[in-house]
Amino acid sequence: MNTSIVFPERLVEGDEVRIIAPSDNLLGIGQETREYACQHFKDIGLHPDYSVHVEGRPGSRTSPIQDRIIDLHDAFADDSVAAVFTATGGLHSNQLLGSIDWNLIKGNPKVFCGFSDATVLLNAVFAKTGLVTYHGPHYSSLGQKLIDPYTLSSLKDALFNRGGYKVMTSDKWSDDVWWNNQNSRELHEGAGNWVIQEGSAEGTIIGGNLTSFLLLQGTQYMPRVDRPILFLEDISRMSGGFFHRNLQAIAYGNQKGIAGLAIGRFSSAATQTEETIGEIVSSIPELAGIPVIANVDFGHTEPRATFPIGGLVTIEATKSGDSTIYIK
């Protein structure tokens, strides 16, 4: 990269968080979900506030580009704001890239967190400014009454603590529609990480949601990192051939090679297994000889680990021992 890497200041209790809607707005997020989200922010010592256009306009899930840009710029320019969180996901964060004032963001580095469609912005901010961003829960993701403590613990490790931390494996996981029934959760037994290919590697993390990340391929907004470690996940419909095709496309884009790969957990609807992922990985020549770990706790299932885009990670993948993913 042509710009130096900058980590934002660690958060401390009492910090203000600004909620913005770079893709879908809050119109589809119910009041109960909002109340629990605010409570969970407060539980970890943060005070959420809302951007001017976060509610959007009646009849549209996505606000006009200019409204979204204003909120993004205001959040970074406001000295009282320590962190910026995306409200929820969607499909249109990439509309903002041509209008962002990168110098404003570079001059006001702060925590920027989200996932899914926000993958576009997280990686573009890192590419254009050197600011490390965070692939973690949306505001709406924290709106679960019965939230897994893993999600909040990982978020605090990433944003508050000054030491490194291990990406742990969860005992239980879920992909239920919790927002339809906040009093009951359908949980699956955790299977731990799957070591697809053994090995060890250290490198800079880029990635996030694979479909969204692929939108940056061939543009100035894709981070230029020599031999990165990719963290990639996708939603349930991106199973089988779609995931295979997209992973091959990303592998082509790193001409100096990939150091390692962590694949987030697929939802139960994707029907991916350790064997099928192994077949996909082994068929992509650019992934030969590198450590690959799958079924990691990030993506579109719960709980969700938080990790830094632009941060340093080590991977130790051993089928016979304790495989680890350690964020430095």
- Known catalytic residues are 116, 233, 300
Residue 86's alpha-carbon distances to 23, 72, 76, 120, in angstroms, are 8, 10, 13, 12
Max CA separation in the chain (angstroms): 56
**Angle CA(55)–CA(147)–CA(309) in degrees, nearest 5?**
70
* Secondary structure E strands in 132-284: 133-135, 165-166, 172-173, 188-189, 194-197, 199-209, 229-233, 260-264
Tokens of 259: 């150091």
- B/e letters for 128-161, b = 16+ CB within 10 Å, e = fewer, are bbbbbbbbbbbbbbbbbbebbebbbbbbbbbbbe
Tokens of 65: 């580009």
Residue listed under structure tokens 């991916």 = 272
Q: How many alpha carbons lie under 13 Å from residue 73 in its C-beta half-sphere?
A: 14
Crossing angle for the helix pair 240-253 and 274-282, to the nearest 10 degrees: 40
As a whole number of angstroms, the distance between CA 279 and CA 275 comes to 6
